[in-house]
Structure 1
């Protein structure tokens, strides 16, 4: 039971656990999860860390998209953001890259969830380790993390 699962359990949030055999040669963890779990890429979301060099933030977006740093900065009220360093991401969340869950991180960070999630009954996010995804209603994710919904993907 990962910290992500424990948080959801403790808050009595309905979720499902989906495990698969992670291939260590795969670098696109989200697309691997969608493929191995038989899900559409629209349903599987990745958790990304961004920073303005003072603060760190979480962005949760569908795996087939790139994050728009301009849009997420606007949604967070920041001037400019860039992707966080892998070491910082792992240190702050307590998870390895490819297994970073938006839930149960060492430090609660301000979170923005792409608005496309509102169109789905369930989205799948990392459960806290590679090869483990959690299915959860987007509103539950928003509630647990006090996240904002915004258009934060690069649509080009």
Structure 2
């Protein structure tokens, strides 16, 4: 891991960094789509990111969000941290309503996935995978005052 990634990982614990990240999410989504996932707002491959497209539970429309992920075998592990805010992000409710989604990976590869909410021992097993990639998730738990949802996205 390079110095740049280490700096980004340290800054991730700062409240102002989360505010900036939330503000720049539309730009990040656009940039990742435009470059086939090769570049995001943090720069080229600073952290493993994907685009998750869910179906809006009320609108029925596709909703896409950029997320940091960890690998668990062939599956992807993502957190519904919402940058440490007190409420869950809408995309996590969409996954609970319908576990079908699409993951877009760098290089433009789309993978249909089935999401499972990790709970209990499964959550305990995969949580260290995501905090190894983005240690600020532990800070987000404290800041949010809630259990952060964790999903395992398995290719379908």
With the length of structure 2 as denominator, give the TM-score of the two structures.
Answer: 0.31
- Greater RCO, 1 or 2 (C-alpha within 8 Å, sep 6+): 1
Relative to its length, the structure with more helix (as a share) is 2
